[in-house]
Amino acid sequence: MDLKNKRVCIIGCGNLGKSILNGLVDDTDYPSEHIIATKRSLAAIESYEAHGVRITTDNVWAVGESDVIIVAVKPYKVLSVLNDIKEHLNPEKHTVISLATNVHVNELQEALPANLPIFRAMPNTAADVKESMTSICHNEAGLSELKTVQYFFDKIGTSIIINEELMDAATVLGSCGTAFVLRFIRAMVQGGIQIGLDSKTATAIVNQTVKGAADLLIERGNHPEFEIDKVTTPKGCTILGLNEMEHNGLSSSLIKGIVTSYDKIS
């Protein structure tokens, strides 16, 4: 089947579900009519009907109309939602993808019919602008549906397949990481204001500088230190500022924060 003919439902269109919905609706290749969005209270997603998306409170109906089921409810609700839909799932037709942190593939398998392709995916909120980093793992049956699942997540950014043991670490870097980078950006802007820029100008400079630095690494595949060496003239202002940040624990505090998040999640 041409992958764009696969129909998808997003069960639980809250923050993350809506980010994925936005990414798919904006995609000119994928028909919005193939998307169903569910939620118990529909007011916040009614506007998507104008794009052709079908919305409903009925998860069982949504499953019957879909091939790929993305479960985007809070982790503590995942198993009860799966319990409601499990009798309507067919391993020959359906693929289930859970976005819940810390609900493992074996728990999902126990709650669902045998031989069903089951995935865990960990996108981030940049799905909203098609720049998510999504880490994906799967059960044995999922091997046959890798292309399908990556097709959807690549529409909202970039995806990688990893072993499930690495999912917690990937969640800290890829999902908590959004907040870490945003706080770094905010601190840069505050520094910029202190040295004379207005907030709007500082924000424009910092946002594009961060994006450009990331693009340099993504497009060239270089090590960050290689790019840093290019900017740090001996005795110049960049190395002085950078070393002052390091004396105050920049790298160390980032690493400690990442490990603290990991200890909490795992």
Ligand X SMILES: NC(=O)c1ccc[n+]([C@@H]2O[C@H](COP(=O)([O-])OP(=O)(O)OC[C@H]3O[C@@H](n4cnc5c(N)ncnc54)[C@H](OP(=O)(O)O)[C@@H]3O)[C@@H](O)[C@H]2O)c1
Q: Which is nearer to ligand X, 65 or 205 (CB)?
A: 65
Phi, psi dihedrals of residue 71, rounded to the nearest 5°? -100, 110
Q: What is the DSSP secondary-structure string of 73-110? A: S-HHHHHHHHHHHGGG--TTT-EEEE--TT--HHHHHH
Could you give the angle at the alpha carbon of 27 between the alpha carbons of 97 and 62, nearest 5°?
40
Structure tokens at 153: 């997540």
Q: Please enumerate, by residue number, every residue annotated as part of a binding site for NADPH.
A: 59
Q: Which is nearer to ligand X, 40 or 235 (CB)?
A: 40
Q: Whose CA is closest to 70, among 31, 97, 44?
A: 97
Q: Which is nearer to ligand X, 83 or 209 (CB)?
A: 83
**Hey, is 220 helix, strand or coil?**
helix
What is the binding site for ligand X (CB under 6 A)? 11-12, 14-17, 38-41, 59, 72-75, 77, 81, 99-101, 122-125, 175
How near is the Cβ of 235 to ligand X at its closest, in Å?
42
Which amino acid makes up residue 88?
H
Cα separation, 229 vs 145, whole angstroms: 43
CB 174 within 8 Å of CB 133: yes
Structure tokens at 239: 């190395």
Q: Among all residues, whose Cβ is closest to ligand X? A: 14
Q: Whose CA is closest to 97, among 33, 175, 16?
A: 16
How near is the Cβ of 245 to ligand X at its closest, in Å?
27
Q: Which is nearer to ligand X, 161 or 205 (CB)?
A: 161
**Hey, is 25 helix, strand or coil?**
helix
Q: Which is nearer to ligand X, 41 or 248 (CB)?
A: 41
How near is the Cβ of 70 to ligand X at its closest, in Å?
10
Cα separation, 139 vs 141, whole angstroms: 6
How near is the Cβ of 148 to ligand X at its closest, in Å?
20
Q: Which is nearer to ligand X, 81 or 206 (CB)?
A: 81
How near is the Cβ of 85 to ligand X at its closest, in Å?
10
How near is the Cβ of 94 to ligand X at its closest, in Å?
17
